[in-house]
Structure 1
Amino acid sequence: MTTKENESSSKSEEQPTFPKEFNGLPVEIDYDGAGRPFPSVIVDDQKFSLGIIKSVIPGGNIVEHIQNIRNLSARDDDVLICTHRKSGTHWIWEIVSMLRKGIAEYDTKIKETAMFEFLSKEQLEALESPRILNTHFSLRMLPIDLLEKKRKIIHLMRNPKDVVVSMYNHYKSLRIGVGRFYSGTFSEYLSLFYSLEGEAKGGWNKYVRDFEKFAKGNPDYPILTLYFEDLKQDPKKEITKVAKFLDVSYTEGFITAVAERCEFENLKKANQEIKDDYITRKLACDGNQFIYRKGTVGDWKNWFTVAENELLDETFERWMSGSELKFKFSL
């Protein structure tokens, strides 16, 4: 294990007051390692921050929005990308977009223009076909019609150590209201991560395990399970899997071109120079893009202490007991 950020935190920050209920649900307060409060509500076993709901969810009512999403009508050519937060959603969305268009060129649109969390049911229904829908919502929140009609789902997973590091940096760059979503150190955030991601709260482990159980219980359902680490290690092999799953025509040269265009640094540059990234830029503290940071495997080694790593290892073993999923923590 190597370095951690050397950043002081203030335990004397003024503590705000929060409502006891929000959208008709009881408000739960979680705390980071420095005692900062984070109010949330739980909908169908998934926890949602009040700040995120107010800033992102159309209309600000998470209960009504999720019900509307469940009632979304599926189309024959819909493809749905499902990921836990900070697991490569932008990456796989760009890959799918290029494969379906048959051209290794960037679209000016970003994935948030077809994401359940950002759009109302009416906005989603107004999208042109073919739709490449995407979401971080849990399995039980997906459109009933989409599941019943067995529309294709791509589920991309990433190891939880790199996920938590990426989430921390993401939240440090995210603006909620007039301030940062998070202002503490990584060690202080880890306490919050365990509170928010606990097995009873619908966090990372429940997200990936629910999809694992669904795939096993529905062997005829068209779902493609991918790992961030495999996509990083051998992109052409994994992109070919996606092309076959989507039943699109391809050549080795086309797959190579898609892999090159979707390399992390190229996507980061495209997001800065080509993409109409108005949706996420307005959520950034400095107005700049904050979606693409490193995109590596094993960056967690630069953040965890030995003790913190051992604790997550122990927690991971408990979370994944009985699972057949195999995660890589380094390449």
Structure 2
Amino acid sequence: MFRFIDCNWMEWRTVEIRDENGEGFDTVQCEDMVFPKQFLRMQPEVRMKAIKEMKYRDGDVLLCSYPKTGTHWVFNIMHFLMIPGPVEEMLMASPKLLDLHPLEEIENLSSPRVIITHLKPDRLPVEHLQTRGKIILVARNPRDTMVSHMYHTQRHDVFNYSKLPWNCFFPTGSYFDYYNCWQKALEEQNKNLNVQSPLYENLIKGNGHWRNRFTFAQDEVFDKVLEEKFKNSIFNTSV
């Protein structure tokens, strides 16, 4: 269940995501952006402007994705491929999310930088796009993305460890809007964007966990949603 509350500051509004017992967490929304409520502490208008104006550095790669689509896993693969050194000495790296991490930390990263973001293309650093900087756009089966979201909300205090029903997902904005927005950008600016889009399922072995969570009836409903929202999508590889 979603309940909207007007937020006078900077045109953000609070959205209460609750189950039938009133348990859940709050997000804040402005236009197409959805963040944890704590985001309001980060001067969002100033931050979004600074992201758009961020300077491109030779070798930068933007790793773009909808949340819980295998972002951190792909990030570490990229890190190991781009950072020289013996494999046995490599350690898992801690990614920096452009949307939420202090921008000073991202500026201070050594090159080549892999910068993670869940922002849509029209909110990315302009200079990176203008110079045809490399972009890796990760996609994942939306059913598995929902399951991953469910576990994520249960394990993190920012979501109050909430055990929410399916009708409360996706809590971080529309999965379908995110990839449809990217498809539109690719169709309109194909020659100007340097994008590779791997499917998470093609990078791992085995089938996803959604088959253990969806009932037959739920799967049928999801198929109808896919037909409605993703009919002509290049990202509709749900299996």
Structure 1 length-normalised TM: 0.63
| Shift in CA distance, 158/34, structure 1 to aligned 2, threshold 3 Å | farther
Residue 136 of structure 2 is aligned to residue 154 of structure 1:
yes
Give the Cα separation in 1 of the matches to 2:155 and 2:24.
18
Which whole-Å deviations, capped at 9, do the CAs of 1:113-148 have from their partners, x for residues lacking one?
A: xx2033223222222211111111222221111111
Identity %: 26
AA at the equivalent of 1:90: H
What is the deviation of 1:39?
A: 3.2
Look up the match of 2:163: 184
Residue 135 of structure 2 is aligned to residue 135 of structure 1:
no
Q: Secondary structure at the match of 1:322?
A: coil
Look up the match of 2:197: 225
Which whole-Å deviations, capped at 9, do the CAs of 1:79-128 have from their partners, x for residues lacking one?
A: 1101111111112111111211244353353113xx20332232222222
Give the Cα separation in 1 of the matches to 2:51 and 2:168.
28
Q: Secondary structure at the match of 2:79?
A: helix
Q: 1:63 aligns with which of 39, 45, 52?
A: 45
Does the aligned pair in 1 maintain the 2:28–2:36 contact within 8 Å?
A: yes
| Shift in CA distance, 109/184, structure 1 to aligned 2, threshold 3 Å | closer
CA root-mean-square deviation: 2.4
What is the deviation of 1:231?
A: 1.2
Look up the match of 1:275: none
Does the aligned pair in 2 maintain the 1:28–1:41 contact within 8 Å?
A: yes
AA at the equivalent of 1:49: P
Look up the match of 2:19: 32
What is the deviation of 1:307?
A: 2.1
AA at the equivalent of 1:40: T
Give the Cα separation in 1 of the matches to 2:162 and 2:103.
33
What is the deviation of 1:154?
A: 0.3
Look up the match of 1:264: none
Give the Cα separation in 2 of the matches to 1:218 and 1:95.
28
Give the Cα separation in 1 of the matches to 2:186 and 2:180.
10
AA at the equivalent of 1:213: K
Q: Secondary structure at the match of 1:315?
A: helix
Give the Cα separation in 1 of the matches to 2:6 and 2:178.
28
| Shift in CA distance, 328/28, structure 1 to aligned 2, threshold 3 Å | closer
- The aligned runs of 1:114-263 (5 Å cut-off) are 115-176=97-158, 181-185=160-164, 188=165, 190-193=166-169, 196=171, 202-220=173-191, 221-233=193-205
Give the Cα separation in 2 of the matches to 1:108 and 1:170.
20
What is the deviation of 1:226?
A: 0.7
Does the aligned pair in 1 maintain the 2:6–2:12 contact within 8 Å?
A: no
Does the aligned pair in 2 maintain the 1:80–1:132 contact within 8 Å?
A: yes
| Shift in CA distance, 165/68, structure 1 to aligned 2, threshold 3 Å | same
Give the Cα separation in 1 of the matches to 2:99 and 2:132.
21
Does the aligned pair in 2 maintain the 1:21–1:27 contact within 8 Å?
A: no
Look up the match of 2:90: 106
Q: Which 4+ runs in 1 deviate beyond 4 A?
A: none
Q: Secondary structure at the match of 1:325?
A: coil
Which whole-Å deviations, capped at 9, do the CAs of 1:158-207 have from their partners, x for residues lacking one?
A: 0110001011101100013xxx524325xx2x11115x46xxxx511111
AA at the equivalent of 2:32: D
Q: Secondary structure at the match of 1:39?
A: strand
Structure 2 length-normalised TM: 0.85
What is the deviation of 1:319?
A: 1.2
Q: Which has the larger radius of gyration?
A: 1
What runs of 5+ residues in structure 1 fail to find an aligned partner? 1-17, 234-295
Q: Secondary structure at the match of 2:234?
A: coil
- Aligned residues between the structures: 232
Look up the match of 1:318: 228
Does the aligned pair in 1 maintain the 2:16–2:25 contact within 8 Å?
A: yes
What is the deviation of 1:22?
A: 4.8
Give the Cα separation in 2 of the matches to 1:28 and 1:90.
27
Residue 39 of structure 2 is aligned to residue 42 of structure 1:
no
Give the Cα separation in 2 of the matches to 1:316 and 1:166.
18
